[in-house]
């Protein structure tokens, strides 16, 4: 099974320091955006916190051991540690201890808690991929917008060249009196309009680049150039490979938000089992080592020997089992269990909603792709028709059978058809790439 492209990109982005290339392709844009996106960084922090919670829950299953010591002076009536009898004598004391324990049976509470927190951690890790997916699609959208704007600016540039050629040819005819000067003025007006359209197209390219740079968190003052790939060279899968039912079945296995929802259901199930353990007894094993020293000892005259002898003589050990049986705790166990069951129902509904939304999105994307395909075919037919009409109008104009206004009208219709066709091409590419992305394919052009 293929992994999502975002998984590869996310790992690559965190393992390699991104460099700013001279020319940006789609892959470099996506990698850079993922590494520098604040939402991804926040999700990474959340995942690391979840990992600490998982480690803590797992550590709760290990035995404990603690050391204790104390020193002080006793006054008044107290128990003499050297004789265990009551005394009113003032004396110094020093005690030591080592104690610990381990739960032997808790109805699986600690085990299920540890597994629940581990599953929650896996879900948090998967959340990072969900955010990476969203960023990837945003970058792809902006990237295609830039390519579309560049191609439209090229169309506007060609339009200027065509008008200039018409202007030059018309100028010669005006000079010899074959055409009135009005024709020349009309073409000059058209050239001015074409120049304005080209300026607007260039502005659109720059604005699209600025939008991409903002998404990448790049300095707007820096140069930014992308690899301008013609739309005709972008490889696309056919509709036969992108049937919505097939894409949905693959997406349920690959999409990280679906995986995260499933992991949270499993975590809620483990939490429910852990809460249910509150109805059952717990059995623990404990151990304790103690000793003490007092200056009331007869051996105190020799400080070191006295201290060492007394500590050895007072050394005690204790091993034991303890069972705790829940009888009544203010309905805490009952309420905790009921709350865990409701939480389980809630996350199951969220998981179902995630799958339902995914299915709706995929079928909607497929429908939009079909519409985009039909629009592309219609735009292509309109382009072919307008091109033939413009060529025919040009010939008639050269023969003096058509006025300048009619010629320019056909020329503008041809220009509009070319722009519409390019727009339809990029829309179709985006719709197909979206389906490919749901399928788990790489976001490449």
pLDDT confidence of residue 6: 46
154 phi and psi, to 5 degrees?
-70, -40
CB 428, CB 379: distance < 8 Å: no
**Per-residue pLDDT band at 15 (split at 50, 70, 90):** very low
Q: How far is CA 378 from the centre of its chain?
A: 37
| Superfamily of domain covering 5-36+106-280+331-438 | Outer membrane efflux proteins (OEP) (1.20.1600.10)
pLDDT confidence of residue 19: 59
The residues near 321 (Cβ < 8 Å, ≥ 6 apart) are: 104, 283, 284, 285, 286
Question: pLDDT tens-digit profile of 308-355?
Answer: 777 787 888 999 999 999 988 888 899 999 999 999 999 999 999 999
**Three-class DSSP category at 288:** strand
Question: pLDDT tens-digit profile of 33-54?
Answer: 988 888 888 999 999 999 999 9
Question: Domain ranges in the chain?
Answer: 5-36+106-280+331-438, 66-105+281-325
Question: pLDDT tens-digit profile of 188-213?
Answer: 998 999 999 999 999 999 999 999 99
Cα 433 from Cα 357, distance rounded (Å):
19
pLDDT confidence of residue 259: 95
Q: Is pLDDT larger for residue 6 or for residue 277?
A: 277
Mean pLDDT (the chain) is: 87
Cα 368 from Cα 244, distance rounded (Å):
12
pLDDT confidence of residue 81: 63
Q: Is pLDDT larger for residue 430 or for residue 73?
A: 430
Q: Across residues 75-81, what is the average pLDDT?
A: 69
> In the chain, pLDDT over 90 holds for what percent of residues?
60
Closest to 292 measured CA to CA, from 263, 313, 267, 262: 313
Closest to 148 measured CA to CA, from 430, 426, 439: 426
pLDDT confidence of residue 70: 87
pLDDT confidence of residue 7: 47
pLDDT confidence of residue 178: 78
- Which residue shows structure tokens 């074409």? 194
CB 131, CB 1: distance < 8 Å: no
**Three-class DSSP category at 87:** strand
For the structural domain made of 66-105+281-325, what CATH number should be given?
Answer: 2.20.200
Q: Across residues 144-171, what is the average pLDDT?
A: 90
Cα 35 from Cα 18, distance rounded (Å):
8
**Per-residue pLDDT band at 303 (split at 50, 70, 90):** low
pLDDT confidence of residue 3: 38
**Per-residue pLDDT band at 22 (split at 50, 70, 90):** confident
Beta bridge pairs of residue 92: 73
**Per-residue pLDDT band at 304 (split at 50, 70, 90):** low
Q: Across residues 246-261, what is the average pLDDT?
A: 94
pTM above 0.85, yes or no: no
The shares of helix, strand and coil residues in the chain, as percent rounded to the nearest 5, are 70, 10, 20
Q: Across residues 137-156, what is the average pLDDT?
A: 92
By CB atoms closer than 10 A (0-12, 13-18, 19+), residue 129 is buried
pLDDT confidence of residue 83: 65
Cα 33 from Cα 25, distance rounded (Å):
12
pLDDT confidence of residue 80: 66
Closest to 297 measured CA to CA, from 53, 117, 87: 87
């Amino acid at each position: 099974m293929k992994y999502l492209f975002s998984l590869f990109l996310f790992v690559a982005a965190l393992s390699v320091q991104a460099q700013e290339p001279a020319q940006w392709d789609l892959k470099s844009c996506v990698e850079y955006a993922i590494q520098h996106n604040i939402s991804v960084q926040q999700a990474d922090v959340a995942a690391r916190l979840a990992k600490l919670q998982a480690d803590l829950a797992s550590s709760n299953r290990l035995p404990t051991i603690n050391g204790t010591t104390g020193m002080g002076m006793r006054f008044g009536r107290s128990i003499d540690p050297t004789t265990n009898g009551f005394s009113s004598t003032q004396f110094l004391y020093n005690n030591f201890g080592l104690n610990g324990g381990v739960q032997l049976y808790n109805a699986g509470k600690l085990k299920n808690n540890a597994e629940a927190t581990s599953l929650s951690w896996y879900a948090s890790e998967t959340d990072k991929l969900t955010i990476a997916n969203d960023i990837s699609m945003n970058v792809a959208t902006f990237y295609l917008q830039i390519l579309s704007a560049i191609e439209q600016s090229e169309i506007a540039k060609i339009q200027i060249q065509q008008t200039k050629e018409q202007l030059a040819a018309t100028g010669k005819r005006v000079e010899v009196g074959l055409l009135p000067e009005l024709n020349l003025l009309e073409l000059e007006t058209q050239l001015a309009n074409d120049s304005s359209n080209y300026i607007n197209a260039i502005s659109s390219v720059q604005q699209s680049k600025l939008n991409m740079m903002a998404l990448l968190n790049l300095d707007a003052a820096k140069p930014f150039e992308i690899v301008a790939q013609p739309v005709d060279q972008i490889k696309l899968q056919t509709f036969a490979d992108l049937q919505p039912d097939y894409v949905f079945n693959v997406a349920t296995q690959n999409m990280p938000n679906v995986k995260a929802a499933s992991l949270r259901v499993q975590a809620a199930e483990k939490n429910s089992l852990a809460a249910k353990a509150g109805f059952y007894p717990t059995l623990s094993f404990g151990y304790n080592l103690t000793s003490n020293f007092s200056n009331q000892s007869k051996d105190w005259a020799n400080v070191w020997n006295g201290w060492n002898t007394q500590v050895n003589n007072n050394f005690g050990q204790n091993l034991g089992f303890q069972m705790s049986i829940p009888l009544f705790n203010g309905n805490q166990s009952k309420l905790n269990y009921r709350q865990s069951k409701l939480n389980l129902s809630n996350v199951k509904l969220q998981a179902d909603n995630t799958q339902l939304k995914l299915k709706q999105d995929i079928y909607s994307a497929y429908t939009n792709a079909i519409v985009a395909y039909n629009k592309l075919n219609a735009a292509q037919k309109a382009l072919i028709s307008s091109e033939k009409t413009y060529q025919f109008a040009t010939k008639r104009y050269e023969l003096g059978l058509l006025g300048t206004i009619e010629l320019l009208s056909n020329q503008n219709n041809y220009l509009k058809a070319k722009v519409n066709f390019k727009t339809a091409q990029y829309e179709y590419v985006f719709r197909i790439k979206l389906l490919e992305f749901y399928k788990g394919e790489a976001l490449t052009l």
